[in-house]
Every structure is written in C-alpha cells, then in structure tokens.
Structure 1
Amino acid sequence: MGHSQRVKRAKKASQAGSRAVNAARRSAGSGRAGIYAGLAVIVVLGVVVGLGVWASRGRTPTLAAVPPVRVSATYPVDVRDGVVVAGQPSAPTSVDAYEDFLCPICDAFESQHASTIQQALTAGRISVHYHMLNLLEDRSNPPGYSLQAANAGLCAAQAGVFPSYHASLYAKQPQEGGPGYTLDQLAALGHALGAGTSFESCTRSGTYDAQVKAQLSAAENNQTLLQQGPNGSSFGTPTVLVNGKLIPVLNPTGSAQFDQLISPANTP
C-alpha cells in the first residue's frame, strides 16, 4: 500500500474516531454507563493513533532544496573518462582529489581548503582532477545518493557549472545515514546555477553512472591510494595526491603540507 493510501485510511479513521468520541461523550453520565463510555473513547483513540503511526511509516523523509552557492571561476573545466579536470592544462602542479558527496570528512576537507584551492586554480598554479565516487552509495536512506550526486557533478561539469555545483552540495551536505537530495532537487540546483537544458536529462538518465563506478573500482585497486587505518590499509575518501604523491590530509600535518604544496612559494 502506498503512502497516499495510508494517509487516506488514517484520515478516515481519525474522522470516525472523532465521531465515536463525541458520541461517547454525549452518552456518558455517571456510574457504569460513564465508565463504559470512557473505555470506548480510550479504545477508539488507540486505534486512531495506531493507524497514524502506520501511515507515517510509509513516508520517506526529504530534505529542503539545495541552496545554490556561486563560485566565480575563470579557469577551464572538462570531463575526461569520468573525471572532472579543472584548471589550466599548463599548470605546473597537479592535484588528484578522490571524493564522495556524502562523505563528511570530504566536506571537512573542502571547508578547510576550498578557498586555497580556488585561489591556486584561478592563478593557474594547479590543475585539479576531481574523482567523484559512489563509495558511500548504501549509506543514504534510500540508498543511491552518492552515485546520483557524483553523476550530477559530472553533468554539471559538462554544463559549465561544476565549481558552484560542487560547492553547493558540500555547503549543505546531507547527513550520512539519512536522506540524500532527490533527482528533482539535484536537477533544480543545476538550473538555479545556470546549467543548460541538457543538464537535467544527463542527471536523470545517469549518463556517467558507469564511469563513476569504474573510477571507484580503479581507486580501490590502486595500491598508491591505500591509506593505513585501524584495520590495515584500505581506500577511503578523501584521498588527495599532489603531483602523484599521496598527502595524508586527514591529519593536521598532512593538511598543512597540502596548503604549502599548492601555495605560491611552492609552485613555479
């Protein structure tokens, strides 16, 4: 039974419950009749509450629309084999960032370093290869947000609005384990940022789904990208490389090192 049917049935039960309660009140007096009427009220209210809970269980929680964040980007952005490539091709320093739009640590990385990265991109000091992955695909409710968001990010790059789209999805990131943004909301964000008419069909059809999945498979099997954790070496997000060298941005030392490597003092 769908949610709308549940709600209609619960509404009818509520109306019937109200009528029964009013009737019981009218007939209630003192003594045994009053007691029976009171018991009838309790039973009816219990049924109504139970049906209300039953109806609510069919409801999927949703998030408010994604607030657009606009980034002024003067550097080129392209899509190559499922990777978003931002920055001048002649940039002397190359950064690879493996991210998942649902990953809270990726959000923390972006919050701390986004300004520095944008300055370096604008100055032509670096190029950034964004590998948007679906590592946490089963960690949203319902599952699938990571893949849909990664695909939408690639569609945004194709439509010329990736920097703003990327910033928007992190600025109001869904909580891991909760609902992600719907396809309608992902499409609406692109339109709000000025994406063309092809963006919505790209987002809804999962144009880049296969390439996103291929990027994740390649990353998980790349020994260079493995990081040491409590259960041994494994791949996770965020993973960041500068000129092919893994930078441990999850700790304060590595985070500071990253900023230094893309600063004017360390880039030709």
Structure 2
Amino acid sequence: MAKRPDPAVEDRRRQARAAAQAAAARAKRRRTLTQLAIVGGVAVVVIAIIATAVVLGRRDQVPAAGSTPVASGSTTVGGTSVPFAIGGGDDTATGVRVGAADAKVTMDLWVDYSCPHCQEFEATNNGTIDGLVAAGKLAVVYHNIQIVTDYGTEAGSASACMAVHDPNAWPAFNAALYANHSAQTDGWGASDLASFAAANGGGDATQKCVTDGTYRNWITANTAASAKADVSGTPTMFIDGQKTDTLSGQALADRVNSLASA
C-alpha cells in the first residue's frame, strides 16, 4: 500500500518549483532587454553615422565664402585709364593694385575700413595719391584687413566684390567706404553694404557678391597675413618694399617724386 505524500513536503516542493520558474522568467527577461539594448545602441550608432555623413555631404556642397578674388584689367583714376588687378598673386595676393606696371614707385598700404586713422589718411591723401597714379609715377597696392570693428570685414568683402565685377567703380567706392564709416554704420551687414554698392556703381553681380559675403574669409586671411608682413596697426605704409612712417600730404608727394626721378 502506497504511502501518502507528506503535505508539508509537497508544499515545499511546489514552492521550490515556483521559485525556479520565476528565476528562469527573470533571466529570460534580462536576456531580452540586453538584446534590445544592443540592437538599440547599434541603431543609434548607425543613425549618428548617417547624420554625420549627411552633414558632411551638405557642407561639401556649399561653396565656401571667402575664395580669393581674381581680376585684372583697367580702371580710371584722375581721369586716366590705368592698370588694375586683384588677387592675381605676388603683391596682389592680398590686395588691389592700381597703377602702371612700369611705375617707378610702388606703395603698399595696409588699411582697415573701420579704422578712424585710415579714414583720416584717405580723406587727406586720396587726391595726392590719385594724381601720382594718374601721372604714372606711382602704383598703389591696397591691402584691406580688419583690426577694429566688423565693418572692416564687411566693407572689405564689398570692396573686393566691386574690384572683381565693377573695377571702374572701385576707386570711388574705396573712398566712399571710408567716408561712410561711423558708429552707426559699424552695425551694417551685407545687405546694407549691397545697397551701398548699388548706389556707388555696383551692378547685379557685385550686389549678389556682397550679399553672399563672398570675400569675408579673404579679409580674415589677409589680416592673418599682415602679421607676417610686419604690420601691427593701420594704416601701415611700405614704399618700394621698405616699411616707412606713414607719410601724408606734401611729404608723401615729395618722397614719391624724388624716387620717381632718381
């Protein structure tokens, strides 16, 4: 005759089986969650890689603002047609060259449209410089940089746009950018300068160039290059490659005339 199971023993066995089943269920859930986390992590990495590729792809598709302006031809200074070049290399790599190729004297001016001293120098000496350039005695290379306010960068970019697309309007526009500078115009952006360019002889191509800020980075690069050229402030003047005090008025005319007749 079979012995009846002890109820207490059976109860303990049921509890043990239930505990084992619960532990197995918990282990299965942990495995499932781990697998989901791994899959999710891989998905995040894949999405990040795809997003990075898209961003890089878009960046590659956007033209870089600040390519070097390059143009050559002629412009009118003091009623005389003279050679004109920008960004072609050598002395024009960082500037605008105005004047005869065989001019006896070359003057490099490192200037900033936002510099009040440059504004004063321009107002005082523009007529003298134009007369010397028109006479074939002097060629000037204007290196526009920015060390005072953002107007120097925005106006510098606008100046380069005018030089490339409307060179005959550049000499007057160069002078106008200095005369235009004030505490109020320090806040001007590209659209303001595009309108200003239009009022000073800039055509559609010049206006679009200014609005796009095409040559902002060129001005930034020129500013960096100025340190290598031993420029610590503006205006800085070099005559025939030699750094000199900033000559003005009759002293400037006398120096150029003396060198041109030597």
**What is the TM-score when the length of structure 2 is the normalising length?**
0.62
Q: Any residues of structure 2 matched to 1:189-204 within 5 Å, and which?
A: 189-204=196-211
Q: Which blocks of at least 5 consecutive residues in structure 1 are unaligned?
A: 1-69, 226-234
Q: Which protein shows a greater Rg?
A: 2
Match of 1:237, SS state, is coil
* Cα shift readout 1:111-134 (whole Å, capped 9, x = no counterpart): 221111000111111111100111
Is 2:181 the partner of 1:173? yes
Letter in 1 for 2:147: L
1:259 CA drift (Å): 2.7
Alignment pair present for 1:85 and 2:89: no
Alignment check: 8 A CA contact 1:92 1:267 kept: yes
Query: Match of 2:172?
Result: 164
Q: 1:113 aligns with which of 125, 131, 146?
A: 125
User: Relative to structure 1, is the Cα distance of residues 72 and 93 closer, same or farther in structure 2, using a 3 angstrom cutoff?
Assistant: same
Q: 1:217: Cα distance to partner?
A: 0.7
> How many residues are matched?
177
Q: Partners of 2:211 and 2:237 in 1: how far apart?
A: 29
Q: Distance in 2 between matches of 1:266 and 1:107?
A: 26
Name the TM-score, length of structure 1 as normaliser. Answer: 0.60
| Shift in alpha-carbon separation, 1:108–1:152, aligned structure 2, 3 A | same
Checking the alignment, whether the CA contact within 8 Å between 2:114 and 2:181 is kept in structure 1 is yes
Q: Residues of 2 paired with 1:196 and 1:77: CA distance?
A: 18
Percent of aligned pairs sharing the same letter? 26
Residue in structure 1 matched with residue 161 of structure 2 by the alignment: 155
Contact 1:82 1:208 in 2 (8 A): no
1:71–1:200 Cα change, 3 Å? farther
SS state of the match for residue 98, structure 1? Answer: strand
Does structure 1 conserve the Cα–Cα contact (< 8 Å) formed by 2:100 and 2:139? yes
Root-mean-square deviation (Å) = 2.2
For 2:162 and 2:80, the matched residues in 1 are separated by 14
| Shift of residue 71, structure 1, vs aligned partner | 7.0
Instruction: State the distance in 2 between where 1:243 and 1:179 align.
Output: 33
What's the CA shift for 1:86?
A: 0.8
CA contact (8 A) 2:79 2:134 kept: no
User: Where does structure 2 lack aligned partners over 5 or more consecutive residues?
Assistant: 1-76, 88-92
Alignment partners' CA distance in 1, 2:219 and 2:119? 19
Residues 48-87 of structure 1: pairs in structure 2 closer than 5 A: 72=79, 74-80=81-87, 81-87=93-99
Question: Residues 200, 106 of structure 1: CA spacing in aligned structure 2 closer, same or farther, 3 A cutoff?
Answer: same
Query: 1:200-229: per-residue Cα shift (whole Å, max 9, x none)?
Result: 121122222222111111112333x3xxxx
